[in-house]
Amino acid sequence: MSLARSLLLHASRSRLLAGALKRRRFFGRAARRFMPGEELSDALGAARELSLRGVGTVLTKLGENITTPAEAESVEGHYADAIGEIERAALPTQLSVKLTQLGLDVDPRACERAVRALAARAGPRSTLWIDMEDSRYVDVTLDLYRRVRAEGANVGVCLQAYLRRTPDDLEALLALEPAIRLVKGAYAEPGSVAFPKKRDVDAAYFALAARLIERASHGKARPVFGTHDMRLVSRIRARAAELKVPARSCEFHMLYGIGEKDQLALSAAGEAVRVLISYGSAWFAWYLRRLAERPANVWFVLKNLV
């Protein structure tokens, strides 16, 4: 299984495979399991349905590592329009952006200006989430987050539990009273950088979660737990109850199309739940990373390919 996961993660970086496999109708149909469609209107429609069931949402347009300033400006404009659509529909919906999709590789200063502009456009009542990409981008992402957050913007950042460096990164951010979305991590990383074994990732995740919960109990952090691991969710909820963390001070973020019953059950139990809805045409790499996260997904796609 670790071999199959590794193959999928490495394949997610191949433009040649992306071009060949995206043309296969099976891949397009299968990807719809995790996304409502390629257009913003599809994502907003799904967000509207979930809001009627008491579940909030986070939208993200798929794509990364753009190569021209014009592309970056187009993405920024798209997200600004999306914020307007969300406001007009009065949806409990936030946005999550990738810095390389806003031109980080092309013009870091322009990328930072875009993040500031989008955070200002979203306003103090809606968090703009900065997603985390592979380990090459951790330092520059966290540096940008610190600068924008220090100015008082309502921004959050994603940390990946499987990276060995993350405990130190978390400690360095705590003085900002940050909003942190904690995930396990879904990129192909060497063992020197990331824990290769699931049990080690799980242990790291809970240790980081416990630290965030402790800070939240004093009103010094806003933790968001991005996981479908219900054992971890139960442990996190129990620890939050032990420390008497105020209700809904923590959130649980889950992916669209996975564990809907768990999402609704958590919401019904009084937890703050949001569903991450991805959309857009650049879904190939993202889809393979989703497949690699769970063994059932890996065998599902391999069986159909054979």
Catalytic center residues? 131, 181
Return the number of other C-beta atoms located less than 10 Å from residue 177's C-beta: 14
